Structure 1
Amino acid sequence: MATPVQHDSAVAPTQSAAYEPVVDEQPEGRSKRPIIFIILALVLLVGGYFGWQRYQFGQTHEETDDAQVEGDVYPILPRVSGPVLEVKVEDNQPIKKGDLLVTVDPADYQQRVNAAEAALAAAQANVIAARAGVGTATANVSTAQTTIGVSEANRSRLEKDLKRSEFLRKEDIIPQSEYDAVQANLKSTSAQRATAQQQVRVAQQQVAAARQQVAVAEAVVKQRQADLDNAKLQLSYTTIVAPGNGIVSKKNVQPGQVVGPNQQLMGIVASERTWVVANFKETQLENMRVGQPVTVEVDAYPNEEFEGKIESLSAATGARFALLPPDNASGNFVKVTQRVPVKITLTKTDPEHPLRAGMSVVATVKVK
């Protein structure tokens, strides 16, 4: 009986492996080198291209990120003091020019108006009285002048009577007593005339004084009228209105609060016009001119660009307007590149992307 032949399992794999084809494998690192070289070359080419573009861009443009949006901000300051009765607005509320913002208690100022009106009425009455005094003094002058006229007529008559009496006395027709009476009447009439002339001078002086009193009274009326106008002006300051269109910001006043003059109650940010102030280095201003186009990128809208132009360049650096400007003559001199504010106006506005005062921007000026 034949027995099956058993194959050695340890030898079989070796025999099968002897029949596999031999493959000539190359080193792994040597096969990837061309790809790396190609990638490096592409990176260098792309980097060089963009570097050249950036260099060309830098030759014709000046850029700074030290820039921000500016706008008109109206501080709301009361001119009079007193408790606040009403506050008509809230933070971030749009308002128009002339809208009522705050009302200060007007009671004290209304009382001053009433007192000024009474003082004005009294001064006007004094003017009327002074003018009446002028009329009285003028009448006294007329009376005195009339007395002078009567005295002149009596004196003329008595002088004629005296001449006749002298003739009659020489002829012994009339007694001495009658002659003496005529002389006495003539002297009395002369005295009355002198007295009347003195009264005329006094009355004329009274007229001048009365007219002076009228001038003084009229001046007092003007002063009282000025006091009344000032009292009404102070009363009008108790109602604070918006100086222009805008949005209420930073409101810090409440009803019942006692406010004083020049105390800021809120701010009104004008919504009609904004611009950009870019602080360029002084080394960037060589080719910068008014009217050059500007591209503005706002941090709040990273996918949007705004077009503008240079409106003006400041006449001094920003450091000149600092609270403590640098003094290079002090001996501790360290040269620092200064920055000059440049005002940029936007040529177009985008209602969907409003610019708010204080926003950070990047300004790029095309100088060539």
Structure 2
Amino acid sequence: MKKKIALLILGILIIISVGFLIKYINYNENYVTSNAGFIKTDSLTYLSFKVDGKINYLPFTSGDKVQKHQLIAALDTLELNTTLNQTKFNILSLQNKIDSMQAGKEKLINDIKLNSKLNENQLKILNKNIEANRLNINSMKVELKKLKDDYKRYSFLYQRKKVSKNEYETVTTNYNSMKFKIESAQKSLDAISLSKNDLLIKQKLIENEKNDIQKLSKTIKSLINSKKAMTSQAKLIEEKIKDSFIYAPFNGIIAKKYVNKFEVIKKGENIVTLVNPKDIYASIFLEETKLKGLKIGNPATIHIDALDKDYKAQVETILPTSASTFAIVPRDLSSGEFTKLTQRFIVKLKILNPDEKLKVGMSCKVTIKK
């Protein structure tokens, strides 16, 4: 009886063992497991300033959450803002001066055009008057010559009493009157000539004013160049002010803080490291013997020991080279000695339902269904 019971128990144990063996073989055929897994991320972002300065805003510590576009750190910009305001004031003053000189230049150009036109018309009138007076004087000189001959002839006749006194006096009066008219006409011509000289002098002054326009144009150009230089300087200052603020490029968590408020830092010096909690994955090492049947898209389960929690995942990348390929000290096979070692390959798994509890660097166990 006891022998039958023992045989029955033995049979049951054999059946159970065979069942476990079949299950184990079936599991190994359909699943791949690894305990060499770690939570990693490719989104570690090191944030730094592009300029030197003293930090006057940095309220965060490691582990704090930040939102995209949220201000993380800022430098003291008081001196830069003061310089910028002064530069902008100087630019405005220069522009006002340029506008004033431009207006003066335009007025001067218009005045020169107007005065030059008036002067030109007056010169034309005076030249006509001069020509008319000269013709009139020449005509009167011809008449004077005739009157002079009459005067000489009548004087001769009057001395011999061949003509009356009245006739003689009439000829004399006509002769003297013509001389007086010529003298008056000559004085008028001289006066007109002086007026013409005045207009010619005025014309030279107008020409000199044209030179003043050129000088004014050079001064305006110089002021414009100065304004351009100041504008460029203002833009550089604005860029420095803009570079004095660090904003979060994405929703994330402060992974590490390197400096504190009121510290003086150099440009390029790390301020904080930001990590995106949604951009994390599991990285495992798999023996080359376990790669058979494994392909991208295979579902997987990740168990985090620290959290005692499972996460769904899928195979995203199977690196094409073994981990030893990039070893610092490669194996030396020149001696002819060789020991075959199973190589390990890195497999990257995308976590389908990550949460904030997952931390970069946590170890994990991974089970992948083929």
Same fold (TM over 0.5): yes
Of 78, 83, 87, the match for 1:116: 87
Name 1:254's counterpart in structure 2.
Answer: 260
Name 1:159's counterpart in structure 2.
Answer: 131
Q: Give the whole-Å Cα distance in 1 for the aligned partners of 2:56 and 2:353.
A: 42
Q: Give the whole-Å Cα distance in 2 for the aligned partners of 1:218 and 1:258.
A: 38
Of 331, 345, 356, the match for 2:359: 356
TM-superposed CA distance for 1:350, in Å, is 5.1
Q: How does 1:4-15 map to 2 (within 5 A)?
A: none
Show CA shifts across 1:30-52 (max 9, x none): 99x97998598558624641353
CA contact (8 A) 1:70 1:357 kept: yes
Q: Give the whole-Å Cα distance in 1 for the aligned partners of 2:344 and 2:215.
A: 73
Q: Give the whole-Å Cα distance in 2 for the aligned partners of 1:190 and 1:130.
A: 32
SS at match of 1:358: coil
Of 50, 53, 63, the match for 2:26: 53
Q: Give the whole-Å Cα distance in 1 for the aligned partners of 2:62 and 2:85.
A: 37
Name 1:134's counterpart in structure 2.
Answer: 105
Name 2:189's counterpart in structure 1.
Answer: 182
Q: Give the whole-Å Cα distance in 2 for the aligned partners of 1:356 and 1:165.
A: 118
Show CA shifts across 1:79-100 (max 9, x none): 3323334542233223334555
Name 1:95's counterpart in structure 2.
Answer: 66
Q: Give the whole-Å Cα distance in 1 for the aligned partners of 2:86 and 2:351.
A: 54
Q: How does 1:140-151 map to 2 (within 5 A)?
A: 140-151=112-123
SS at match of 1:72: coil
Show CA shifts across 1:216-268 (max 9, x none): 53453344234334424434544545444333332232234211211112223
Which sections of structure 2, spanning at least 5 residues, go unmatched?
Answer: 145-177, 331-337
Q: Give the whole-Å Cα distance in 2 for the aligned partners of 1:231 and 1:119.
A: 14
Closer, same or farther: CA 323–184 of 1 in aligned 2, 3 Å = farther
Q: Give the whole-Å Cα distance in 2 for the aligned partners of 1:176 and 1:211.
A: 51
CA contact (8 A) 2:318 2:345 kept: no
TM-superposed CA distance for 1:53, in Å, is 0.8
Of 34, 46, 54, the match for 1:83: 54
Which sections of structure 1, spanning at least 5 residues, go unmatched?
Answer: 1-29, 327-333
Show CA shifts across 1:283-311 (max 9, x none): 7599734xx24314144357543223456
Q: Give the whole-Å Cα distance in 2 for the aligned partners of 1:187 and 1:121.
A: 50
Report percent identity of matched pairs.
13
Show CA shifts across 1:138-177 (max 9, x none): 1234323322222122112212222222222222245589
Closer, same or farther: CA 79–232 of 1 in aligned 2, 3 Å = same
Name 2:272's counterpart in structure 1.
Answer: 266
RMSD of aligned C-alpha atoms? Answer: 4.8
TM-superposed CA distance for 1:281, in Å, is 7.7
What is the total number of aligned residue pairs between the two structures?
A: 318
Structure with the higher fraction of residues in helix conformation: 2
Closer, same or farther: CA 269–275 of 1 in aligned 2, 3 Å = closer
**TM value normalised by structure 1:** 0.64
Q: Give the whole-Å Cα distance in 2 for the aligned partners of 1:311 and 1:52.
A: 26
Closer, same or farther: CA 254–55 of 1 in aligned 2, 3 Å = closer
Q: Comparing both chains, which one has the higher relative contact order based on Cα–Cα distances under 8 Å and sequence gaps of 6 or more?
A: 2
CA contact (8 A) 1:152 1:193 kept: no
Q: Give the whole-Å Cα distance in 2 for the aligned partners of 1:253 and 1:268.
A: 14
Name 1:73's counterpart in structure 2.
Answer: 44
